[in-house]
């Protein structure tokens, strides 16, 4: 797999990284409780990809730290045995048919290589399998093009829980009977 590690955030998708090559071992699997520290560090590194200041990242650290219970509910993707990203779904307080994509983070060396789409499509399928009709996503503003590309629609705004006064776009994904028809790709599934 060829990935341009040096590409600055603004140009990462303008330059378009190469997708994982055929034969590269992509595995989606449930994360374990003892992987909470690894996932928390990945989330912080991933957030840092947008070029946020050190003080901003410190403010976000608590929110990006997974408990062992959260980690045990996350799903991660490994590329040749290396954890490249993860997602975490949770029920929403909005209603019993609504879920929340609490976390979706790709480790910087893998950003722009299709891992985000793989994770998002897995979250979509999993959410549909739980009987949810909608998934809400409190997004980083810089992730807006990604969510729009994958079919989520902005339905409002929410105030950040980490940074006072910061407004975040609230996206919603409507689930129609089992998720997208687009294939996820070459990932191997544990289920």
- Only one residue has tokens 């705004």, namely 157
Interface with ligand COA, residue 104, by CB under 6 A: yes
Residues numbered 109 to 128 that lie near ligand COA (CB under 6 A) are 111-117
Q: Does 173 bind ligand COA (CB under 6 A)?
A: no
Strand-strand pairing, 98-106 and 134-138 = parallel
One-character DSSP codes across 129-169 = HTT-SEEEEE--GGGHHHHHHTT-EEEEEEE-SSSTT-EEE
What is the closest distance, in whole angstroms, from the C-beta atom of residue 128 to ligand COA in the complex? Answer: 19
Residue closer to ligand COA by CB (options 35, 100) is 100
Find the shortest distance in angstroms from Cβ 2 to ligand COA: 14
User: Which of 68, 103, 105, 64 is CA-nearest to residue 83?
Assistant: 105
Task: Return the residue nearest ligand COA (CB atom).
Answer: 116
Closest of 121, 110, 111 to residue 143, by C-alpha: 111
166 binds ligand COA (CB under 6 A): no
Tell me which of 146, 152, 169, 175 binds ligand COA, using CB under 6 A.
146
- Among 144, 142, 178, 145, residue whose Cα is nearest residue 50: 142
Count CA atoms closer than 13 A to 163's CA, side-chain side.
Answer: 15
Point out which span in 25-33, 60-68, 128-136, 141-149 binds ligand COA (CB under 6 A).
Answer: 141-149
- Closer to ligand COA by Cβ: residue 51 or 131: 51
In angstroms, what is the minimal distance from the CB of 176 to ligand COA? 19
By CB under 6 A, tell whether 182 contacts ligand COA.
no
Other Cβ atoms within 10 Å of 6 Cβ, number: 5
Binding residues for ligand COA (CB under 6 A): 13, 46-47, 49, 104-106, 111-117, 139-140, 143, 145-146, 149
């Amino acid at each position: 797999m060829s990935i341009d590690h040096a590409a600055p955030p603004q140009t990462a998708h303008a330059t378009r990284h190469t997708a994982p090559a055929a034969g590269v071992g992509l595995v989606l699997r449930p994360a374990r409780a003892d992987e909470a520290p690894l996932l928390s560090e990945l989330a912080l590194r991933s957030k840092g990809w947008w070029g946020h200041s050190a003080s901003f990242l410190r403010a976000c650290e608590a929110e990006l730290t997974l408990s062992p219970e959260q980690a045990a509910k996350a799903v991660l993707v490994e590329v040749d045995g290396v954890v490249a990203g993860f997602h975490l779904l949770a029920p929403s307080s909005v209603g019993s048919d609504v879920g929340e994509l609490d976390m979706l983070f790709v480790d910087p060396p893998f950003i722009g290589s299709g891992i985000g789409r793989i994770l998002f499509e897995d979250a979509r399928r999993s959410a549909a399998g739980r009987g949810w009709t909608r998934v809400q996503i409190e997004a980083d503003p810089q992730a807006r093009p990604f969510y729009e590309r994958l079919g989520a629609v902005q339905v409002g705004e929410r105030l950040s829980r980490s940074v006072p006064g910061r407004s975040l776009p609230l996206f919603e994904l409507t689930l129609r009977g089992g998720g997208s028809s687009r294939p996820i790709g070459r990932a191997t599934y544990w289920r």
